Amino acid sequence: MNLTNISQNKVAGGWHKQVTHESTALNCTMRFALFLPPNASKESPVPVMYWLSGLTCTDENFMQKAGAFNTAAKLGIAIVAPDTSPRGDEVADDDAYDLGKGAGFYLNATQEPWSKHYRMYDYIVKELPLLIEANFPVSNINAISGHSMGGHGALTIGLSNPNSFTSISAFSPICNPTHCPWGQKAFGAYLGQDQESWKAYDATELLKQNPSPLPILVDQGDADNFLHEQLKPESLVNAAKTHNSNLELRIQEGYDHSYYFISSFIEDHLVFHAKHMFK
Amino acid sequence: MNLTNISQNKVAGGWHKQVTHESTALNCTMRFALFLPPNASKESPVPVMYWLSGLTCTDENFMQKAGAFNTAAKLGIAIVAPDTSPRGDEVADDDAYDLGKGAGFYLNATQEPWSKHYRMYDYIVKELPLLIEANFPVSNINAISGHSMGGHGALTIGLSNPNSFTSISAFSPICNPTHCPWGQKAFGAYLGQDQESWKAYDATELLKQNPSPLPILVDQGDADNFLHEQLKPESLVNAAKTHNSNLELRIQEGYDHSYYFISSFIEDHLVFHAKHMFK
């Protein structure tokens, strides 16, 4: 697989890189960002936290705004931040911010005009980790985290692929997309009107069906404008009780949906994942 | 003075705010950003680090990208990030990125068409601190820091107003603007062709004339594209030797001119200022 390094900046003793490649899962050129901590080498490969971003984001939002580098450098954790959808002129899109480009929802679309490119689930689960492991000094120990739509992605991908990750965390995730406007709109378009097919991409439904094999940490601000209509963490917590899943939800007083919130607690998430990655 | 709070986000237990006001120094509406640490209160006012940003920046760049909040919160330091020039349709401008809006150079312009609005020196030295002290729970203990053009601003304003600050720091500052293209272009436009008048805004010239009454910390990446043509830290170091000024220049291997560099070392700068603020 052919990688093109398009930017490189030293940070926290390690390196931030932006890389493009031809994605076979998505049938288009994709860009991702990577942080390598200073101790990463072929002789001592480091674990990776995959970070899935929210609606309208690219590979850049987390890397520029989360303030995660110094902690990740100290812990010896790489971070990979993929884009949030397929990209390019030939990729189907919608005028709304919550469908099409920037809104891939980390699923495999089955409906036209989306199914040719919108296969973010396969990209994150299958293609990207192989590409990262083949090209950078990382181990096969991975954790997964994300924000909002990406929190939904981290929860559903982590729960459905427990052998691929040590731990799951999320900020302000869309916890029950089959029961909120963002999810219903996107799933209807990408997956069609058979709502049974939606459940595989709903973290609350997954936790109702089975216990989580992985520990989960969720942070949610109580001043988040999207909390009650779109995010519904109480549904996730209730579902987690069905099979006694190991889920900690922390309601953070006064915090909103922004990266100011993420930057306040990303250190906790990295330490949480490190505990499970290095045990 | 009438302040309008236009955004507010909880971060690191404290608050990030964006505020607009009518500036009398600049004759226009200005916006600044403020971080208040969690311990700031009328009963225990906190010191302030003023952060001056570089060419093309606004009040947002540092606040979104520097990753400074958690450290500033722990130390109990507020941060104020002003804009980099006057703003508004009635303000003179130039098509180039390094003159006019976004490029105020922290001086008082004497030439047309700039002199009506381009008085960033007076704004930073006189107007803004009074406004901050009158409206927020801060003390009158201040430090000053900045990046690139803002590093030039921090050095020159700090050196010329030693009673207003405890300490000066800078990332990748324009150290000798009277001898580099950015400075010569801007000073020629704003101050005219009498180069004697430029020297008051040149940190190297100021350190040749007098010892620094304040401790100075400068970080400079050796992979910075602007290092040799525009920044010239060796001129500053040589000038500091004239009167044995207390200046530490740290050359950081592999780092460039970006906020990735700033985020790597901002903790050191905050700790440096805290040492002098709280002694």
- Structural domain spans, chain B: 3-278
Is A171 part of the contact surface with chain B (CB cutoff 8 Å)? no
Nearest chain A residue (CA) to B62: A65
Distance from CA of B184 to the nearest CA of A (A): 29
Give the CA distances from residue A144 to residues A25, A126, A127, A148, B79, in Å, rounded to whole numbers and listed in that order.
19, 14, 15, 13, 33
Query: Residue A173 in contact with residue A155, Cβ under 8 Å?
Result: yes
**Once rounded to an integer, what is the mean pLDDT over residues B136-161?**
98
Query: Residue B158 in contact with residue B214, Cβ under 8 Å?
Result: yes
All residues of chain A having their beta carbon less than 8 Å from the beta carbon of residue B263 are 11-12, 67, 69-70
Give the CA distances from residue A83 to residues A35, A54, A123, A169, B248, in Å, rounded to whole numbers and listed in that order.
15, 10, 10, 18, 41
Give the CA distances from residue A117 to residues A57, A127, A210, A222, B115, in Å, rounded to whole numbers and listed in that order.
18, 14, 30, 36, 55
In this structure, chain B runs to a length of 279
All residues of chain B having their beta carbon less than 8 Å from the beta carbon of residue A13 are 264
Residue A1: the pLDDT is 63
Which of B11, B70, B264 lies at the smallest CB-CB distance from A11? Answer: B264
Cα angle, residue A263 at apex, residues A206 and B154 outer, rounded to 5°? 165
**Distance between CA atoms of A242 and A100, rounded to whole angstroms?**
34
Q: Is the pLDDT of residue B279 over 90?
A: no
Side chain identity at A10, as an amino acid letter? K
Q: Is the pLDDT of residue B254 over 90?
A: yes
**Is A148 noted as a catalytic residue in this protein?**
yes
Query: Residue A230 in contact with residue A181, Cβ under 8 Å?
Result: yes
Q: What sign has the CA pseudo-torsion A162, A165, A166, A169?
A: negative
Dmax over Cα atoms in chain A, in whole Å? 50
**Is B257 noted as a catalytic residue in this protein?**
yes
Phi-psi region of A27 (alpha: psi -120 to 50; beta: other; left: phi over 0): left
**Once rounded to an integer, what is the mean pLDDT over residues B102-111?**
98
Nearest to B233 by CA among B219, B223, B245: B219
Catalytic option among A224, A245, A269, A273: A224
Q: Do B255 and A13 touch (CB under 8 A)?
A: no
Query: Residue A215 in contact with residue A167, Cβ under 8 Å?
Result: yes
**Is B148 noted as a catalytic residue in this protein?**
yes
Which of B11, B65, B66 lies at the smallest CB-CB distance from A260? Answer: B11
Is B64 part of the contact surface with chain A (CB cutoff 8 Å)? yes
Residue stretches of chain A with pLDDT short of 70: 1
Q: What is the ipTM of this complex?
A: 0.95
Q: Do A264 and B64 touch (CB under 8 A)?
A: no
**Distance between CA atoms of B119 and B91, rounded to whole angstroms?**
12
Is A260 part of the contact surface with chain B (CB cutoff 8 Å)? yes
Q: Do B259 and A221 touch (CB under 8 A)?
A: no
Q: Do B69 and A12 touch (CB under 8 A)?
A: no
All residues of chain A having their beta carbon less than 8 Å from the beta carbon of residue B261 are 9-11
Phi-psi region of B191 (alpha: psi -120 to 50; beta: other; left: phi over 0): alpha
Nearest to B153 by CA among B133, B110, B183, B181: B183
Residue B1: the pLDDT is 64
CATH superfamily of A3-278: Alpha/Beta hydrolase fold, catalytic domain (3.40.50.1820)
All residues of chain B having their beta carbon less than 8 Å from the beta carbon of residue A9 are 256, 258, 260-261
Please tell me whether the overall predicted TM-score, pTM, comes out greater than 0.95 for this model. Answer: yes
Q: Do A261 and B70 touch (CB under 8 A)?
A: no
Q: What share of chain A is helix, strand, coil (3-state, %, to 5)?
A: 35, 25, 40
Which of B64, B221, B258 lies at the smallest CB-CB distance from A65? Answer: B64
Question: Please, which pLDDT band fits residue B265 given cuts at 50, 70 and 90?
Answer: very high
Query: Residue A224 in contact with residue A256, Cβ under 8 Å?
Result: yes
**Distance between CA atoms of A172 and A156, rounded to whole angstroms?**
14
Q: What is the pLDDT of residues B13-44, one digit of tens each?
A: 999 999 999 999 999 999 999 999 999 999 99
Probe site for chain A from B70, B224, B257 (most A CB atoms < 10 A) = B70
Query: Residue B175 in contact with residue B233, Cβ under 8 Å?
Result: yes
Q: Is the pLDDT of residue B189 over 90?
A: yes
Nearest chain B residue (CA) to A267: B70
**Distance between CA atoms of A157 and A216, rounded to whole angstroms?**
12
Which tokens hold the place of B146?
A: 């900045």
Burial A85-109 (b: 16+ CB within 10 A, else e): bbbeeebbbbeeebbbbbbbbbbbb
Probe site for chain A from B264, B269, B270, B271 (most A CB atoms < 10 A) = B264
Nearest chain B residue (CA) to A258: B9
Which of B13, B65, B256 lies at the smallest CB-CB distance from A10? Answer: B256
Q: What is the pLDDT of residues A134-170, one digit of tens each?
A: 999 999 999 999 999 999 999 999 999 999 999 999 9
Is B255 part of the contact surface with chain A (CB cutoff 8 Å)? yes
| CB-based contacts of A225, cutoff 8 Å, min separation 6 | A256, A257
Q: Is the pLDDT of residue B122 over 70?
A: yes
**Distance between CA atoms of B71 and B37, rounded to whole angstroms?**
10
Looking up tokens 């959808």, which residue turns up? A85
Residue B105: the pLDDT is 98
Catalytic option among B147, B152, B257, B269: B257
CA atoms within 13 A on the CB side of A26: 30
Nearest chain B residue (CA) to A74: B264
| CB-based contacts of B71, cutoff 8 Å, min separation 6 | B266, B267, B270, B271
All residues of chain A having their beta carbon less than 8 Å from the beta carbon of residue B222 are none
Residue A279: the pLDDT is 86
Residue A114: the pLDDT is 98
Is B16 part of the contact surface with chain A (CB cutoff 8 Å)? yes
Q: What is the 3-state secondary structure (H, E, C) of chain B?
A: CCEEEEEEEEECCEEEEEEEEEECCCCEEEEEEEEECCCCCCCCCEEEEEEECCCCCCCHHHHHHCCCHHHHHHHCCEEEEECCCCCCCCCCCCCCCCCECCECCCCECCCCCCCCCCEHHHHHHHHHHHHHHHHCCEEEEEEEEEECHHHHHHHHHHHHCHHHCCCEEEECCCCCHHHCHHHHHHHHHHHCCCHHHHHHHCHHHHHHHCCCCCCEEEEEECCCCCHHHHHCHHHHHHHHHHCCCCEEEEEECCCCCCHHHHHHHHHHHHHHHHHHHCC
Q: Do B264 and A16 touch (CB under 8 A)?
A: no
